[in-house]
Amino acid sequence: MTDYILALDQGTTSSRAILFDRTGRLCASASQEFPQHFPQPGWVEHDPDDIWNSQLAVARQVLREAHVAAHQVAAIGIANQRETTVIWERATGRPIAPAIVWQDRRTADACEALRAAGKAAMICERTGLELDSYFSATKLAWLLDRVPGARTRAAAGELCFGTVDSWLAYKLCGAHVTDVGNASRTMLFNIHLLRWDADLLALFDIPAALLPEVVPSCGNVGMTHADLFGAPIALAGIAGDQQAATFGQACHHSGMVKNTYGTGCFMLMHAGAQPAVSHNRLLSTVGWRLHTETCYLLEGSVFMGGATVQWLRDGLGIIRQSSDVEPLAASVPDSGGVLLVPAFVGLGAPQWDPYARGTIVGLTRGSTAAHIARAAVEAIAYQSAQLLQAMQKDARVPVAEVRADGGAARNDMLMQFQADLLGVPVLRPKVTETTALGAAYLAGLTVGFWASQEEIAAQWRCERRFDPAMNADRRAALLARWGRAVERAQAWEQPL
């Protein structure tokens, strides 16, 4: 009898492994941070081996500490940081260069050149994405151009490209695959035809031999190598972290919205069985594919969410650990007029400005560390409020509620301020590890651990509901002031 699903939640700053039972209850978890590398301003890198080694370590740890053997695990599901770009040798599995992380802005000028050449509209029409260095295509092209011999070896089929899901699948079971949702984040994938786009490959000069096979999010990928966990386990589900969180939040019907408060913040709306068209610079992306049914999502991306709190900890040193931010921020009644725009790696939706930089405005002699901490927390909510404003303009129906998850969703002050700015209730589920839960659900559906999406949706439970307590005039005034602060952060750096 198999009693558990093992979810591997590979994030931007840490790798996590969680065991879930048939009720969707979190039974055991383990987490491990791994190093971040910033070789130049605007550059963000990971060592792919750090990603793999930390993920394998926590998977083994959670099984060991829960006293669960491999034969008790029905399947493994992967959720992963998206867009991060890895190239490795097909024969040896050795990376040929550091992974370029989704936050990295080194290819902003390449994107500007493509925009000047009139390519942005075609890219958006086929991929649903803004032309931006956030996505994998220009990162991949940069690596092929900079690593000696890489382009020749790629054309010869000696190298593999993948986002982090592909890297983990290759290390787990030797499969070179990606699911449709992750593929749709590369800027190389046609979301209408659900295949790699030959014109885009030519535009970015990407050899097709480098690309992974695109598979459904829910399906058997392969069996893990026996020596990893003591016995093979089926790898049966793959989804990018935000798609997985949307699925884990049981946003299975059009119009349902979730917002994840992780390293970044990502608000996604279920858009139905056809790609949505945004007129407000949101992204249209593939959510998941279950057998023959494809779900599409409308997405807004904020690059600095919880990472802003990490900056308070690691950069400024005004808190010792991330959990200290809430009591420090709550020690003052408001931010004292301070606004922090955390454009440390540019701005995502709806501005899409890679040349914006972090800005603090409204400082006075009375400003303290507590005011800056409060401004940092409130910045997370302000950025997400901009996303919902854009989303409601694009949506056919009003948004009734937002389901919140991610580490920062445990911050009650943030959640209440978020509800106040959104003007709609924010619901926090009992299980906030919805990214891992979504990966588990996809894998479990594949192997029959759960019978249907309806069974999964019935397991969703609200832990706390945050209702708006701010009047409309106050909300409008705060958002207008935030807009002024964002204007001051934009276009700070100049294109080369």
Reported as a single tens digit per residue, the pLDDT across 300-311 is 989 888 889 989
Residues 440, 443, 448, 450: is their CA dihedral positive or negative?
A: positive
- Neighbouring CB atoms inside 10 A of 162's CB total 28
Kindly state the tokens that stand for 54. Answer: 């930390």
The answer to whether the CB of 309 falls within 8 A of the CB of 289 is: no
In this prediction, residue 22 carries a pLDDT of 93
CA angle 151, 177, 188 (to 5 degrees): 55
Closest CA to 462 of 425, 427, 412: 427
**C-alpha dist (Å) from residue 428 to 30, 70, 400, 404:** 22, 32, 14, 5
Amino acid identity of 173?
C
- Paired with 216 in beta bridges are none
Q: What is the per-residue pLDDT across 237-246, written as a single tens digit (0 to 9) for each?
A: 999 999 999 9
189: which strand partners?
A: 196
pLDDT, position 323? 86
Q: Give pLDDT, residue 496.
A: 55
**Of 12, 46, 5, nearest in space to 31 by CA:** 12
> Can you say which residues are annotated as belonging to the binding site for ATP?
12-14, 263, 306, 310, 407
Q: Residue 251 and residue 72: Cα distance in Å, rounded?
A: 29
Give the total residue count for the chain. 496
Strands 159-162 and 45-46: unpaired
* CA-to-CA separations, 468 to 414, 420, 422, 423, 465, in angstroms, rounded: 12, 4, 8, 6, 10
For domain 4-241, the question of CATH label 3.30.420.40 is answered with yes
Q: How many CB atoms sit inside 10 A of residue 337's CB?
A: 14
**Inter-residue contact 166 to 178 (CB < 8 Å):** yes
Residue ranges of the annotated binding site for glycerol are: 82-83, 134, 241-242
Q: Which of 430, 486, 84, 17 is nearest to 264 (CA)?
A: 84
**Tokens coding 155:** 């054309």
Binding residues: 12-14, 16, 82-83, 134, 241-242, 263, 306, 310, 407, 411
122 by Cβ neighbours in 10 Å (0-12 / 13-18 / 19+) ranks as middle
SS (H, E, C) 96-128: CCCEECCCCCCCHHHHHHHHHCCCHHHHHHHHC
DSSP state of 396: S
Alpha helices in 334-407 (DSSP H): 369-394
Q: ω before 350 within 30° of 0 (cis)?
A: yes
- Tell me 290's DSSP state: E
**Which runs of consecutive H residues, i.e. helices, occur in 174-237?**
180-183, 198-204, 226-229
The binding site for ADP consists of 12, 16, 263, 306, 407, 411
Mention every residue, 6+ apart, whose C-beta is less than 8 A from residue 477. Answer: none
Strand partners, 359: 341
Q: Is 41 left (phi over 0), alpha (psi -120 to 50) or beta?
A: beta
Q: Which residues fall in the annotated binding site for sn-glycerol 3-phosphate?
A: 12, 82-83, 134, 241
pLDDT of the residue at 247: 95
Whether 305 contacts 378, CB under 8 Å: no
Query: What are the 10-residue block averages of pLDDT along the chain, 496 residues in total?
Result: 90 94 93 93 94 97 96 96 96 96 92 95 94 94 96 95 97 97 97 96 96 95 96 97 94 91 89 87 92 91 88 91 90 94 89 91 95 94 91 82 90 94 94 91 95 92 95 94 94 75
Q: Break the chain into its structural domains and give their ranges.
A: 4-241
